[in-house]
Copies of this chain bind each other. A is one copy, B any other.
Amino acid sequence: MPVHTDYLWFHTKKRREVIRITDEVSAIVGASGVREGLVLVSAMHITSAVYVNDWESGLIEDIQEWLEKLAPARPDYRHHQTGEDNADAHLKRTILGHQVVLPITAGALDLGPWEQVFYAEFDGQRRKRVVVKVLGL
């Protein structure tokens, strides 16, 4: 059973960015040689998310605006007494989720017609990683 591990690196220019990573994950699956199995795609930093949703710029903005409403950037989080200023990023990533597991069928990602994989950065402008772990046959 092949197990294949790779990492995607990000260093965003802006503090918040949403980056489509379907093709990058797909390439890693291809390189793994796995024909049937699962791939875990998981943010290794706790102020980032990995999620599956629509590749439509309006919805991507809707999601960001909605996250700001549910988990607003505010000065008065307890976490900020440590000198941090990113408590909202920890909360936003909690709603979106920090990982997905994707099925691999016949050597390719087995995704529905509109499923796309995204990396959502909520506290960027520094190097951060996503682990991609492929397991199968």
Interface residues of chain A, those whose CB is within 8 Å of chain B, are: 1, 3, 5, 36-38, 40, 42-46, 51-54, 56-59, 61-63, 66, 70-71, 77-82, 87, 90-91, 94-103, 105, 110-115, 129, 131, 133, 135-137
Contact residue among B57, B80, B91, B133 (Cβ-Cβ distance under 8 Å from A66): B91
Interchain CA distance A110-B81 in the complex, whole Å: 29
Contact residue among B56, B102, B113, B135 (Cβ-Cβ distance under 8 Å from A37): B135
In the assembled complex, the CB of A82 is this many whole angstroms from the nearest CB of chain B, namely 6
The answer to whether B114 touches A45, judged by C-beta atoms less than 8 angstroms apart, is: yes
Interchain CA distance A99-B122 in the complex, whole Å: 22
**Chain B: which residue is nearest A3 at the CB level?**
B36
